[in-house]
Structure 1
């Protein structure tokens, strides 16, 4: 079942009331942010609202072929709350329901950019997931398998899936960064001692970018082959940290980050410098 509810587009002021994710379109032309009232789009130096329903999108993942999300329907839409899992193949204009309507709201949802593997963290049982925990699907959410997640003692804060290897998944907790190479059956700690937050695999599959917070906000890049961690620059963030990261598929040196306090920044030089495009939820032109 597909559904659509068109909203006004154009260059009217866009406010990020919440930031629930961050992703570039496959063609690299648009940066999208799911918020409390639909998708906000940054393209060619300007902000606009996306054409499509103003739902409260929560878990949000963009792949080369589709967008996957969860969350809550817009008021008056008549749709079941919560969504369960939904999918868009037309840049968020319309959405197809994939199941678990009224049962699940996945705040943590990630997908491999090229392999399309879906991973979610489920807080309570539903008709397709018999117990809370980490689950993955290799057929678009039709069937789910629970991952044992051995080596984890805390619920994840953020989740990311390798772009090509569906068995490689990373997550952060309040105490560190963990990576699994066996579809979430076991996790190895790669960084511990500080609160670790947002993360994303580079689209070439070679590295993992992650934010952390100790005495202040930090951003690092971990090489998957060697385990080497390289510190990257981060904007001056006061009592704030990196919540989401995304890489442009067609311009690999371009990265975007969003913070917990709703700042959004873009780097054109691989994380050496950053320019603000939103501050405290107020978009900048």
Structure 2
């Protein structure tokens, strides 16, 4: 039985900024796929090469597929990078929010394509087969989680709910059953601190980090109590891999990338790629020795073999 949940009141400045994307406008028409038992599945390859000069907008998530290829979630669906350039999934072209990779798929929220059988918003979606198969886990037609983080190995989900649903008040929630149900996080220890982001640990189901202008805090009890992890300035984005946490701090007009080893408590600094002055890092993903970075002008960079390569410049496909 579901129970009505309320987040306890606390004094905290929440700085989570809305992505501001229109839920259904300017989306590309996709094939209508029959909906059956909250699952959509295609059996044919629907990946197509992206045309040169295509403008990519609203990157709301990124990662590395299980085959190692970089993938981004955009206003009009999923795109992956191959040796010969960008490709896009022509089906299930939803406006994904909170896109997060897990061992054998991904989780997301957001808004359905215009001709989709799904209700708007999507609620919590679990995808497999690189997005060709989708399963609604909960809150279809009720919740759009712009701020959702999922443990890569654990599939523990941590979210910030901006607008109330039928049973959930706005606030911070966790799900330890893959998005089927949610319970409120008490968030003790964050009073008076601004929060701009939330990141689930990759392998510890009840470890979660929050960051903002006052640094990073960590919880080992599913978000009920937090303690300082790093107080070094304004953290704009962060990412977790097994035993590691990477974060980008802003100092004045410059940005610094640090990778923290959670086992031996050592830190390593990595030079960021050269970016325009108005460019801000918005998405950071870490996988072993690789990093994926997306910025506010819809540029995408990959870090491997100790160097950065630009995959997308200011949202324009070459």
Do Structure 1 and Structure 2 share a fold, with TM-score over 0.5? yes
Whether the 8 Å CA contact 1:51–1:93 is kept in 2: the answer is no
2:117 paired with 1:98:
no
- The alpha-carbon deviation at position 85 of structure 1 amounts to 0.9
Of the three residues 67, 81, 84, the one matched with 1:27 is 67
> In the superposition, relative to structure 1, how do residues 158 and 45 fare at CA in structure 2: closer, same or farther (>3 Å)?
farther
Counterpart-to-counterpart distance in 2, 1:283 and 1:185? 43
Of the three residues 245, 250, 254, the one matched with 1:213 is 250
Secondary structure at 1:83 match in 2: coil
Of the three residues 36, 39, 42, the one matched with 1:2 is 39
Secondary structure at 1:48 match in 2: strand
Backbone CA RMSD of aligned residues: 2.2
Corresponding residue number in structure 2 for 1:145: 183
Corresponding residue number in structure 1 for 2:274: 236
Corresponding residue number in structure 2 for 1:259: 295
> In the superposition, relative to structure 1, how do residues 58 and 181 fare at CA in structure 2: closer, same or farther (>3 Å)?
same
Q: TM-score, normalised by structure 2?
A: 0.79
Whether the 8 Å CA contact 2:49–2:85 is kept in 1: the answer is no
- The alpha-carbon deviation at position 136 of structure 1 amounts to 1.2
Query: Which whole-Å deviations, capped at 9, do the CAs of 1:96-144 have from their partners, x for residues lacking one?
Result: 1122122111001111111111111112332453x32221111111221
Corresponding residue number in structure 1 for 2:170: 132
> In the superposition, relative to structure 1, how do residues 44 and 119 fare at CA in structure 2: closer, same or farther (>3 Å)?
same
> In the superposition, relative to structure 1, how do residues 141 and 128 fare at CA in structure 2: closer, same or farther (>3 Å)?
farther
- The alpha-carbon deviation at position 258 of structure 1 amounts to 1.0
Comparing 104-113 and 7-16, the one that deviates more: 7-16
Q: Which has the higher contact order (CA 8 A, sep 6+)?
A: 2
- The alpha-carbon deviation at position 164 of structure 1 amounts to 1.4
Whether the 8 Å CA contact 2:200–2:207 is kept in 1: the answer is yes
Secondary structure at 1:103 match in 2: coil
Whether the 8 Å CA contact 2:216–2:230 is kept in 1: the answer is yes
Corresponding residue number in structure 2 for 1:198: 237
- The alpha-carbon deviation at position 15 of structure 1 amounts to 3.0
Counterpart-to-counterpart distance in 2, 1:81 and 1:225? 42
Whether the 8 Å CA contact 1:212–1:242 is kept in 2: the answer is no
2:107 paired with 1:72:
no
> In the superposition, relative to structure 1, how do residues 169 and 275 fare at CA in structure 2: closer, same or farther (>3 Å)?
same
Of the three residues 246, 249, 262, the one matched with 1:224 is 262
> In the superposition, relative to structure 1, how do residues 92 and 128 fare at CA in structure 2: closer, same or farther (>3 Å)?
farther
Corresponding residue number in structure 2 for 1:17: 57
Structure 1 or 2, whichever has the larger Rg, is 2
Query: Which whole-Å deviations, capped at 9, do the CAs of 1:27-86 have from their partners, x for residues lacking one?
Result: 32x211111011111123521112431111011111012211100111232431111111
Counterpart-to-counterpart distance in 2, 1:114 and 1:103? 27
Query: Which whole-Å deviations, capped at 9, do the CAs of 1:207-254 have from their partners, x for residues lacking one?
Result: 210112122122111222354433211012223232112234xxx322
> In the superposition, relative to structure 1, how do residues 138 and 79 fare at CA in structure 2: closer, same or farther (>3 Å)?
same
Whether the 8 Å CA contact 2:51–2:317 is kept in 1: the answer is no
Q: TM-score, normalised by structure 1?
A: 0.88
Corresponding residue number in structure 2 for 1:187: 226
Count of aligned residue pairs for this structure pair: 275
Secondary structure at 1:283 match in 2: coil
2:83 paired with 1:47:
no
